[in-house]
Homo-oligomer: A and B are copies of this chain.
Amino acid sequence: MAPVTNGRVILNAYAEGFPEPGKTIIYDDASIIDLDNVPLEGGVLIKTLELSVDPYFRNRMNPPPPPGQGTANGFTLGQPLHGGGVAVVLRSEDDRLKAGDKFFESFSLPHQHYSILKGSQLNGVEILKNPHNIPWSAFTGVLGMPGLSAYAGWKEHSKAKEGEVAFVTSGAGPVGSLVVQLAKIEGLKVIASAGSEEKLQFMRDLGADVVFNYKTTDTKEVLAKEGPIDIYWDNVGGETLDAALINANINARFIECGMISGYNNGHSKGIKNIYQVVARQISMNGFFVGRLGDKYRKEFLDFIEPKIANGEIKYAEDRFIGLEKVGEAIAQVQRGLVKAKAVVHVASENI
């Protein structure tokens, strides 16, 4: 077979404010690859099938922090983005994988059509058995990093007790929608917020007891009426976090999964009610699934795969078709314009 184009999604500039497709992120089709003959040097040649596009990407588009301050897990200027995704092995010189294997990579799958991975780059790879024949895209969402985030964060930090009240932000999103369902399975009253009628309906379908549109309803009023809250699942930060703080029960647990309200304005709106952490003896835990996920990955899949297959746990996707759509998908995620978990379908699994 003749060499083929190997499209790539490149970080062209660090983001200031919202990322812009064509400026912050560009699609580059100048590379070619000879799939039959490219040397593997002990590695594997893979074809990308599905890519996850997530809110936390925004942070990876910032300049790296000064040495010793914070994590340096950002994207590299001029290089392809990378993230969670599903790929199929085309050729392999590594004993861990063989041609035809489908696998999931949580954080480091390059945003390009074809990649050669080798050595330690394959350490995080997980072969997908997929006994229930669930669509591959689901492994970037409810069965992937967002689903595992929900599961691991909830199991590690919620200390949920039946009859308690949980408030879940972005309750129709890929993380929040599973949190809503986990909380309902464990017998909690669930208050869930989102930004459109379509999403409210989805949250009702998931079993949420109280749903509201944060754009048209005052979060503080809803929580004052339906709270106090024992668990706050934070995907939002900002004023919503402030509203949760003054409507928290004593000994409430705040699970800090993300703060998208601040990602594109430098978190410029300060938190006013942080003193409630002391006054109400709140436990606030920030976590990244990258550090917590390994502990829960197997338990998570055993729990959730059959429930996805039989429909007991629901999920939704907003699909973008084609690798060149990654920049647009990222921008829509950051602006809250996607209706559900954003996934970019890159290719079908047929070699």
Contacts and interface: CB of A to CB of B under 8 A. Distances in A.
Interface of A: 59, 68-71, 224, 227-228, 237, 241, 246-247, 250-251, 256-259, 262, 267-288, 291
B70 A279 contact: yes
Contacts of A280: 70-71, 286
A71 B250 contact: yes
Contact of A267 (B59, B256, B257, B273): B273
| Interface SS, A side | loop
B267 A272 contact: yes
Nearest to A283: B285
A272 B270 contact: yes
A271 B268 CA distance: 10
A40 to B, nearest CB: 35
Contacts of A256: 277-278
A286 B291 contact: no
Contact of A228 (B69, B267, B275): B69
Given A69-B224, A69-B246, A246-B69, A281 B291 contact: yes
A312 B315 CA distance: 60
Given A228-B69, A246-B69, A275 B267 contact: yes
A275 B250 contact: no
Q: Which residue of A59, A237, A271 has the most chain B CB atoms within 10 A of its CB atom? A: A271
A259 B280 CA distance: 13
A60 to B, nearest CB: 11
A283 to B, nearest CB: 5
Contacts of A259: 274-275, 278
Taking each of A228, A241, A270, which has the highest tally of chain B beta carbons within 10 Å of its own beta carbon? A270
A224 B67 CA distance: 10
A275 B262 contact: yes
Given A258-B278, A280-B286, 14 more contacts: A68-B227, A69-B228, A70-B276, A70-B279, A256-B277, A257-B278, A259-B275, A267-B273, A269-B270, A270-B271, A271-B271, A277-B285, A281-B288, A283-B283
A260 to B, nearest CB: 10
Given A69-B246, A228-B69, A250-B71, A277 B270 contact: no
Contacts of A277: 256, 284-286
A284 B281 contact: no
A258 B274 CA distance: 11
B68 A279 contact: no
Contacts of A237: 274-275
28 contacts: A59-B279, A68-B228, A69-B224, A69-B246, A69-B247, A70-B250, A70-B276, A70-B280, A237-B275, A241-B274, A256-B278, A257-B278, A259-B274, A259-B278, A262-B275, A267-B274, A268-B272, A271-B271, A276-B286, A277-B286, A278-B286, A278-B287, A279-B286, A282-B284, A283-B283, A283-B284, A283-B286, A284-B285
